Structure 1
């Protein structure tokens, strides 16, 4: 069950982070102020909506039921963690702490960002499959 849920959440993440993310969201989600937060929250809400849809479809196809409260908690976790990670300061702070300044300057931040998102999805899938 964990692998199925993790895969569904990962596919949802890919759909929301790439084909459904607008240029405006990508360029503004980390900026300070109302416009930055608006772009960030709409992008995170897209993740929640896509992952919720895939969880409902996946549960139907797999013939299982997901308890409502853990599913809502997992979706809230996905939305909040996605929003915070996409503010970019957690990735910057991690790379500074890990002494990855050179890698950060050469495109490494995108990989650390995606790794953080996937780790959050794994936590959500673990909670849903417990």
Structure 2
């Protein structure tokens, strides 16, 4: 069940992060103040909605019985962790701490960002499949 849930959450992540993320969200989600938070949270809500939809479809198609409260907690975790990571400063801070400034300057931040998102999805999948 873990692999099925993790795969659905990963596909949900890809759908929400690429075809459903607007230019406005991508360009403004890390800005300071309310404008940045509005763009960031609307993007995070998209992640929650897509992942929730895929979990419901997966449960129906595969005969799962996901407990409601853990499923809601997992979706809250997905939204909150995604919003946190997408503020960009956590990735920048990590790359500075890990002495990856050169890699960050050459496109590495996008890879660290996606790795952090996938790690958060794995936590959600582990909690749902336990």
Same-fold call, TM cutoff 0.5: yes
Report how many residues are paired.
Answer: 130
* 1:16-43 deviation line (CA, Å, top 9, x unaligned): 0000000000000000011110000000
- Tell me if 1:70 matches 2:70: yes
| Cα distance in structure 2, aligned partners of 1:64 and 1:78 | 20
Give structure 1 stretches of 5+ with no counterpart.
Answer: none
Q: Residue 127 of structure 1 corresponds to which residue in structure 2? A: 127
CA distance in 2: counterparts of 1:39 and 1:54, whole angstroms: 23
Shift of 1:48: 0.1
CA distance in 2, matches of 1:30, 1:84: 10
Segments of 5+ residues of structure 2 without an aligned counterpart are none
C-alpha deviation, 1:119, in angstroms: 0.0
User: Is 1:93 the counterpart of 2:105 in the alignment?
Assistant: no
Question: Could you state the TM-score of these two structures normalised by the residue count of structure 2?
Answer: 0.99
Two-structure CA RMSD over aligned residues (Å) = 0.3
Look up the SS of the partner of 2:65 in the other structure.
coil
Q: TM-score, normalised by structure 1?
A: 0.99
CA distance in 1, matches of 2:118, 2:80: 14
